[in-house]
Amino acid sequence: MTTPLLIDTDPGVDDALAILMAFAEPAVEIVGLTVAAGNVGLEHTVRNALRLVETVDRDVPVHPGCPAPILPPPASAAFVHGEDGFGDAGLPEPARRASTVHAVDAILDASRRHAGDLTLVCLGPLTNLAVALLIDPTLPSRVPRLVVMGGAVDGRGNTERIKAEFNIGFDPEAADVVFRRWPRFELVDWEATLAHGIPFERLEGWLAAPTPAARLMRAIAEKRHAWVRAHRSATHSHLADALAMAVVLEPALVAEAADRHVSVALVGEHTRGMTVVDWAGRTGLAANAWIARRIDQAGFERRIEGALIGR
């Protein structure tokens, strides 16, 4: 029995690895990629999602979503992922075409088609999911599992608004809608990502594998690795979406977690887009997030290795 999995994504290099990890797992059936603007613009993220389903030669629909955050201006992570989101590696245009079904409609359709069974993972800004929730507030009742890559639970963000993590900071209003309307979701944040870096030496060994997945990742990751080495870590790659996908595929990898109420700051020069965790339970608000704090590193790395070398 396979689990239907819908992936909302803004590919992006780490999104690509996460999606390849999901395709490498036989226990899940990927029912679609719903695409958001985020790391780079929607035209690029849709094209990259098409490249991914071509790489693995799977007949999975790619649904273009919202082209911008609820409130402008859109941020960009092109300085990390390349102007095209895939390392400006000069990849050929994908032959496949995107679906004519909008991502928001695809999320609602999948929730009805797989009611009670669907796992939804969000690897980018939450714009598509927020709009789906506004259209149909009953959506969470049909989706037993939502995993969100986003936030920085102790305020160590990764954007110029230093307490904000990119996905939440790109569209704080969307995250606010999701965090207020989704009764309980799993959260894999930026600080967990920082705690689970992958040594470059090990990662580059896997990227040398003669597989389509490794070839694609080798091509698109080069620019990002150079940036990370120069600006973040000379030794480790921090792959947020891959970590979130490891939790999706193998929940038992979570070694330490905390149930807490998490909200999103919408205002403040230094705080807009920040995730605010009620660690001491002072608000009296029920926990809405199961926050993954520590993940089994060896199991996480096994998932990446398996996706790249085809084990």
- Min dist CB 207 to Ca ion, Å, is 19
Contact at 8 Å (CB) between 136 and 158? no
Distance separating alpha carbons of residues 241 and 42, to the nearest angstrom: 18
Residue from 5, 6, 8, 12 in contact with Ca ion (CB under 5 A): 12
Q: Which of 48, 55, 56 is nearest to 28 (CA)?
A: 56
147 binds ligand RIB (CB under 6 A): no
State the virtual CA torsion across 174, 183, 64, 125 in degrees, nearest 10.
40
Q: What are phi and psi of 160, to 5 degrees?
A: -70, -20
Q: Which is nearer to Ca ion, 12 or 32 (CB)?
A: 12
SS3 186: strand
Number of residues that bind ligand RIB (CB under 6 A): 17
Rounded Cα–Cα distance for residues 81 and 16 (Å): 11
Which of 3, 7, 8, 15: binder of ligand RIB (CB under 6 A)? 15
Residues 6+ apart with CB under 8 A from 239: 14, 17, 18, 193, 198, 304
Given the complex with ligand RIB, which of 114 and 216 has the nearer CB atom?
Answer: 216
Q: Which of 6, 7, 8, 12 binds ligand RIB (CB under 6 A)?
A: 12
Shortest spacing between CB 141 and ligand RIB, in angstroms: 27
Query: Among residues 21, 123, 198, 304, which is the contact residue for ligand RIB, using CB under 6 A?
Result: 123
Q: Does 124 bind Ca ion (CB under 5 A)?
A: yes
Cα Rg, the chain, nearest whole Å: 18
> What binding mask, one character per residue, do residues 21-50 give for ligand RIB by CB under 6 A, x or -?
-----------------xx-----------
Q: Residue numbers of the site for ligand RIB (CB under 6 A)?
A: 10, 12, 14-15, 38-39, 77, 123-124, 149, 158, 165-167, 190, 240-241
